[in-house]
Amino acid sequence: MRLIFIGPPGIGKGTYATAVSERYGIPHISTGDIFREEVKRGSELGRKVKKYLEAGELVPDEIVIEVVRERLKKEDCRKGFILDGYPRTLRQAEELDKMTSIDLVLNFHAPDEVIIERLGGRRICVKCGAIYHVKFMPPKKPGICDKCGGKIIQRKDDTPEVIKHRLEVYRRVFTPIINYYKEKGILLDVYAGEPANIVIPRILKLLEEHGFKPEK
């Protein structure tokens, strides 16, 4: 099952992807997570992409396409994958079509107010990447990850100025991508303006209705 998840930052894609990934035994591949990890490690790739991430701007196509090409070659992608954050340009979408064939594209949407509330309160564990929300999904102990005991922080690009810019960038860049998959007839709109415990069963039902049988 080869999926793409599309949706504005803060819509909950990471949470939904984790649920689908566990149910179907396929990896969740977030190009944003890959880049953040490389920046943290201080690798050559990390040094190249750091300035774009900090400014909320797109990393150049040549870099992103190669990262995804190499990632999809890995053994764990044999049964499928969930791509999150990729493609963001038509060139990335066309290159992806040369690498593999996508079954479904889930387009998550919600009103702007919901997105802004979610983003401003989002927190992430520096160690394992677990996602929290100050209001909707707080950790048991403030500032400390339930899963690994790591420190919970606000992502540098979840601050108000950067959020506003990221939403503008999202609208500008994803409209052609959404249209690209709509024309191919594989785009599904999924309403994600409710809590994750409502949205996740909605997604799993949708996938089963499209003939994808879960692993567990």
CB of 121: closest distance to ligand AMP in angstroms? 16
The residue with its CB nearest to ligand AMP is 32
- Which of residues 2, 88, 118, 123 is near ligand AMP by CB under 6 A? 88
Query: 211 exposed, middle or buried (CB, 10 Å; 0-12, 13-18, 19+)?
Result: exposed
One character per residue 32-61, x = contact with ligand AMP (rule: CB under 6 A): x--x----------------xx--xxxx--
Active site residues: 13, 88, 122, 155, 166
Spatial separation of the C-alpha atoms in residues 86 and 6, rounded to whole Å:
8
Tokens of 117: 């509330």
Query: Under rule CB under 6 A, how many of the chain's residues touch ligand AMP?
Result: 16
Q: Segment near ligand AMP (CB under 6 A), from 72-80, 83-91, 144-152, 179-187?
A: 83-91
Q: How far is the CB of 157 from ligand AMP (least distance, A)?
A: 6
> Nearer Cβ to ligand AMP, position 126 or 212?
126
Q: What letter would DSSP give residue 11?
A: S
Rounded to the nearest 10 degrees, how much is the dihedral formed by the CA atoms of 39, 80, 6, 177? 100
Contact 156, 139 (CB under 8 A): no
Q: Are strands 152-153 and 122-125 parallel, antiparallel or unpaired?
A: antiparallel
In the complex, the smallest distance separating the C-beta of residue 7 from ligand AMP, rounded to whole angstroms, is 10
Distance CA 133, CA 155 (A): 12
First to last CA, the chain: 15
- Among 1, 45, 64, 119, interactor with ligand AMP by CB under 6 A: 64
Binding site for ligand AMP (CB under 6 A): 9, 31-32, 35, 52-53, 56-59, 64, 85-88, 92
